[in-house]
Structure 1
């Protein structure tokens, strides 16, 4: 049976009789027996603010530690709470309760002084003086704002220095004239070139200009086996439903033109599923981690879509994956590159821009940025209204076409 103990009230204690509870700011003490503790108190007993000041010193063979119950380094909890320590006498089983103070022990390195500020410093600006006042007498909100501003200032200075060093290194390696020529070529191509698939303009074959492996890696293509087989097994009624309701006419066209069997059929079905995911992603504002699960999207493909075609933003207290306008252009370019591989380096721009929900002018701009050759299909007689329209086609022909940058000028309205 466990022994019981009783609590004994001690006589009234003074501040000098309070127990000391210490914590070390730089770690935990392994051998507390090797520390020599000393307590010092203020000699000014008449001043009510200074007579309660205590300083605790702990000395070891390697380092000395100092803790105060006053000043900036002291723990504010001593003023907000009262702490007590119980000491149990195992012989009488009586516990004595004593008042306690908390001390934060910080190491003292010889040669370094704590007070580095010079009170007679006249070089401080008005901003520095206001910051000093905020540090001493400001509210918690003002102190947080001051800390945030200083962190941003340090980060901005470090960024400027890193950019300057990188710029000087690049200028030394390439030379100023070569860099100016590269900047001129990049600016002529526009910002859209940043969102195009990797391009090898010096390739000998059209298939190698926009390599299929750069669009879908072998591991990603292998993961689409099950989903591609389901796409290949769709019936004509399901294809018609997909064309009417879901806005994926270009995917339906790929599935209708698939070979009867072989590797080409398997490749087309897998790519058709991947393009359908891109079309669905194009119409989303923000997506979550459950995107594509209903269609049976593999995890590796889901990660690729989030990593390649979304931008992380902080909104409503959490990180969200947003599909920005620049990412929509990137999705259009990757869809176009995949459709080129599926249909002998030819793609229907009209069907694609309708499924993507973008304008025809934007789709043509993407095709021109990729260096594709544009032409129109001849008008045919058909019952389907979509087939009676003049469809624009884009084909990849070597060498790639370089289009002149067109700057549109709006006509001024005449004043009446």
Structure 2
């Protein structure tokens, strides 16, 4: 840009543009174009705009008298730099002398040589149509028995093709409704290993507090972000706590708030963790959640992002990305909640209250506690009544060394034949 033009030209930054409105910058893999006017450019977009993973796919075609070039922004031949960097291009309006700055994406144009794909297809067709040629011979010169066998095989083939098409259509419908990630998650859950969903564990730690580190549950930055929310928890009166209990509040959170220390760092830590625990327990009872989760309770943005990133899986439904809480994610929430309660309760947690709050069975909760190497304690009815608890309660304690439980496989007895 010359000095005179710089003096009379101004830059205008355009608003954020969609992928379909971005400027296109192409480069040719086999050389440079001397005269771009001799090329006829066409852009194609994916027809499935409801799919968030396909709606931004584009194909650019450049045709000349001699050769055609094709480039796309997806697949193996696409440029990875589009995901790593943002590109901008300036367009000068000579009437207003304003330079408009647009976002852009790059395409690598590769030549398409006619005949290459045709020869490959012909070679494949020769191999694939051998059966058809043999069937033609049977139709022309075969015996009556061979012709009946051919007719029967073709009828079976039609039935098999129809069944395969029906299965493929049903599978496609399920994938569109649930999303591929959720289906893969459900397959993984059928062969689930609880160890994959437990907090990081240091089994040979010298102190119980160091087995499941508090920093692995809440980092220092996340803990500091809970200051305001914890203050609101600390300000709750006994009447407000009673109302929360009557309204069906989380029993585990109620127990923490009723026994919160009066002053000091222990009080501050307890009320902050009580708020975080209430979010975990609320999340465990959800199926799908939106971006407004936790806003009514005053959840900080950093905590909300942590919950979405750690305890949900992404899928899409009707063209919209959704965050789902799958069965394996509920197990993960239960394990992290249990580890948090251990830190709040001097390395002891009430499994009965926790499994009721999470909405999982007591057997599942005990299985998670065993996987974490905890010692199980059954509280007698008399002591539970003294503590204000109804019925028989199970507790879990972290005692060193950790307990290693044997996993027994149930075997069905074979009936004897008489």
TM-score normalized by the length of structure 1: 0.57
Look up the match of 1:379: 381
For this pair of structures, how many residues does the alignment match? Answer: 272
Displacement after TM superposition at 1:238 (Å): 1.5
State the secondary structure of the residue aligned to 1:394: strand
Q: Would the alpha carbon gap of residues 392 and 315 (structure 1) be closer, same or farther in structure 2, given more than 3 Å must change?
A: same
Q: Would the alpha carbon gap of residues 340 and 72 (structure 1) be closer, same or farther in structure 2, given more than 3 Å must change?
A: same
Displacement after TM superposition at 1:237 (Å): 1.6
State the secondary structure of the residue aligned to 2:395: strand
Conserved? CA contact 2:384–2:391, under 8 Å? no
Extract unaligned runs of 5+ from structure 1. Answer: 1-23, 39-64, 75-105, 131-144, 146-188
Q: Would the alpha carbon gap of residues 411 and 26 (structure 1) be closer, same or farther in structure 2, given more than 3 Å must change?
A: same
Residues 136-156 of structure 1: CA distance to partner in whole angstroms, max 9, x if unpaired?
xxxxxxxxx9xxxxxxxxxxx
Conserved? CA contact 2:69–2:110, under 8 Å? no
Look up the match of 2:240: 238
State the secondary structure of the residue aligned to 1:387: coil
State the secondary structure of the residue aligned to 2:273: helix
Look up the match of 1:365: 367
2:280 to 253, 278, 281: 278
Conserved? CA contact 2:316–2:322, under 8 Å? yes
Look up the match of 2:341: 339
Larger RCO (alpha carbons 8 Å, 6+ apart):
2
1:226 to 225, 228, 238: 228
Look up the match of 2:65: 67
Residues 347-392 of structure 1: CA distance to partner in whole angstroms, max 9, x if unpaired?
0001111111111000000000000000111222787997131111
Look up the match of 1:353: 355
TM-score normalized by the length of structure 2: 0.57
Displacement after TM superposition at 1:66 (Å): 3.1
Look up the match of 2:409: 407
* CA–CA distance in structure 2, aligned partners of residues 330 and 120 of structure 1: 50
Displacement after TM superposition at 1:120 (Å): 10
Displacement after TM superposition at 1:256 (Å): 1.1
* CA–CA distance in structure 1, aligned partners of residues 109 and 410 of structure 2: 69
State the secondary structure of the residue aligned to 2:64: strand
Conserved? CA contact 1:380–1:387, under 8 Å? no
In the alignment, structure 1 residue 297 sits paired with structure 2 residue 299: yes
Look up the match of 1:52: none
Conserved? CA contact 2:27–2:109, under 8 Å? no
State the secondary structure of the residue aligned to 1:380: helix
Q: Would the alpha carbon gap of residues 127 and 347 (structure 1) be closer, same or farther in structure 2, given more than 3 Å must change?
A: farther
Q: Would the alpha carbon gap of residues 35 and 218 (structure 1) be closer, same or farther in structure 2, given more than 3 Å must change?
A: closer
Q: Would the alpha carbon gap of residues 280 and 384 (structure 1) be closer, same or farther in structure 2, given more than 3 Å must change?
A: farther
Conserved? CA contact 1:311–1:324, under 8 Å? yes
Q: Would the alpha carbon gap of residues 66 and 307 (structure 1) be closer, same or farther in structure 2, given more than 3 Å must change?
A: same
Look up the match of 1:115: 115
Residues 376-412 of structure 1: CA distance to partner in whole angstroms, max 9, x if unpaired?
1122278799713111110001111000013235689
State the secondary structure of the residue aligned to 1:321: strand
The CA RMSD measured in Å over matched residues stands at 4.0
Q: Would the alpha carbon gap of residues 359 and 36 (structure 1) be closer, same or farther in structure 2, given more than 3 Å must change?
A: closer
Q: Would the alpha carbon gap of residues 37 and 247 (structure 1) be closer, same or farther in structure 2, given more than 3 Å must change?
A: closer
